[in-house]
């Protein structure tokens, strides 16, 4: 019976959190349309794949090459396409991450098959229906997939990873080629952000600051709340990134990163449409703003109208008390 192929992501030989979300999305899809979940990961030798069975994968293909330490667009796409052609899959599921946004269209183009990008929900009941946000999240579009195989990328942090233990068999394949002279694009270096904090696109809690903080030094208040949560990242509006208060890697929004954490706290951010585009699918949104008419309150689940300089230290204190940290 045709199955679902989950394309996993690794960094430095460890599976990324989004890989477990992709497996969960693939399992949900497979339970609706039938078939098993198989997975593929492409990377350097020695990837730690122990968790694949725990999240529902029944067969894992590990395609390795010494030169796959960094994502290499053409060889990675070739490896996945080769797998799809050798197997029998209704759908290929991957993360709508920086890598997935590049890889998904390459796979779909090579297979001449449909691509549904950045899905926030997948309904599988005989057929496949995918929901994806449009117009900076102001509208949701529902796509019905009419031909298979298809490629679906899922928005990170939207499909909460669920354990679903399975016996997994692993096949390691040595890729014939790395990024050789024939490739048209090659990843040469990946620059890590200077901070040791979590990446804004991967954290369960994101605390973002905007121009309401008045000056870059006041981001210390945001960082204190982030540290109090522990599993959190610092985010920022474009206004403060443009002002040089925060690096671009922190920016949330249309021209920054798209995030969907469990909790998004917007502090001194007005809620311009371009900012909302990057965070409105967050599970719970809390906004602190002194202007009760600020548009951010339209998407917030909890709104605190007041001066952030008074509220933030008290909020941080309460989080520390509640978490016993």
> Running DSSP on this structure, what letter comes out for residue 7?
E
**What b/e string do you get for 285-299 counting C-beta neighbours within 10 Å, with b at 16 or more?**
bbbbbeeeebbbbeb
Q: What is the DSSP string of 69-107?
A: SS--HHHHHHHHHHHHHHS-EEEEEEE-SHHHHHHHHHH
For residue 209, which of 182, 233, 180 has the smallest C-alpha distance? 233
Q: How far is the CB of 55 from ligand FAD (least distance, A)?
A: 32
Which of 255, 325 has the CB closer to ligand FAD?
Answer: 255
Name which of 252 and 263 has its Cβ closer to ligand FAD: 252
| Residues that bind ligand FAD in the complex, under the rule CB under 6 A | 210-212, 237-240, 251-256, 268-270, 272, 274-275, 278, 288-291, 294, 307-309
Distance of CA 165 to the CA centre of its chain: 23
Q: Rounded to an integer, what distance in angstroms lies between the CA atom of residue 46 and that of residue 247? A: 33
**Toward ligand FAD, which CB reaches closer, 145 or 203?**
203
Is-contact 305 292, C-beta < 8 A? yes
CB of 206 to ligand FAD, least distance (A): 13
Three-state DSSP state, 150 = strand
Q: Which is nearer to ligand FAD, 152 or 269 (CB)?
A: 269
Q: Which residue is nearest to ligand FAD (CB)?
A: 253
- The span from the CA of 315 to the CA of 313, in Å, is 5
Q: How far is the CB of 208 from ligand FAD (least distance, A)?
A: 8
Closer by beta carbon to ligand FAD, 179 or else 278: 278
By beta-carbon proximity to ligand FAD, the closer residue of 29 and 236 is 236
First to last CA, the chain: 50
Residue 235 CB, shortest distance to ligand FAD, in Å, is 9
Nearest distance from residue 241's CB to ligand FAD, in Å? 8
CB of 275 to ligand FAD, least distance (A): 3
């Amino acid at each position: 019976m045709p199955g679902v192929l989950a394309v996993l992501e690794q960094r430095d030989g460890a599976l990324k959190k989004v890989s477990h979300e992709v497996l969960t999305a693939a399992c949900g899809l497979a339970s609706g349309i039938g078939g098993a979940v198989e997975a593929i990961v492409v990377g350097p030798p020695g990837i730690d794949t122990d968790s694949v069975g725990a999240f529902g994968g029944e067969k894992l293909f590990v395609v390795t090459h010494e030169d796959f330490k960094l994502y290499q667009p053409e060889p990675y796409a070739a490896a996945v396409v080769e797998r799809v052609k050798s197997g029998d899959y209704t759908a290929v599921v991957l993360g709508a991450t920086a890598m997935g946004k590049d890889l998904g269209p390459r796979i779909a183009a090579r297979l001449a098959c449909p691509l549904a990008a950045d899905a926030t929900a997948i309904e599988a009941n005989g057929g496949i229906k995918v929901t994806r946000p449009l117009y900076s999240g102001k509208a949701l579009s529902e796509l019905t997939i009419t031909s298979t195989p298809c490629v679906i990328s899922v928005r990170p942090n939207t499909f909460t990873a669920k354990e679903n233990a399975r016996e997994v068999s692993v096949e390691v394949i040595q890729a014939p080629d790395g990024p050789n002279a024939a490739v048209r694009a090659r990843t040469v270096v990946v620059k890590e952000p200077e901070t040791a904090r979590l990446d804004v696109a991967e954290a369960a809690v994101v605390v973002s600051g905007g121009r309401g903080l008045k000056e870059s030094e006041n981001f210390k208040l945001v960082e204190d709340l982030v540290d109090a949560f522990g599993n959190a990242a610092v985010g920022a509006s474009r206004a403060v990134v443009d002002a040089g208060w925060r690096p671009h890697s922190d920016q949330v929004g249309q021209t920054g990163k798209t995030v969907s954490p469990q909790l998004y706290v917007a502090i001194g951010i007005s809620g311009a449409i371009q900012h909302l585009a990057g965070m409105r699918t967050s599970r719970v949104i809390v906004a602190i703003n002194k202007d009760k008419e600020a548009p951010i309150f339209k998407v917030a689940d909890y709104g605190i109208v007041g001066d952030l300089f008074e509220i933030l230290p008290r909020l941080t204190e309460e989080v520390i008390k509640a978490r016993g940290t």
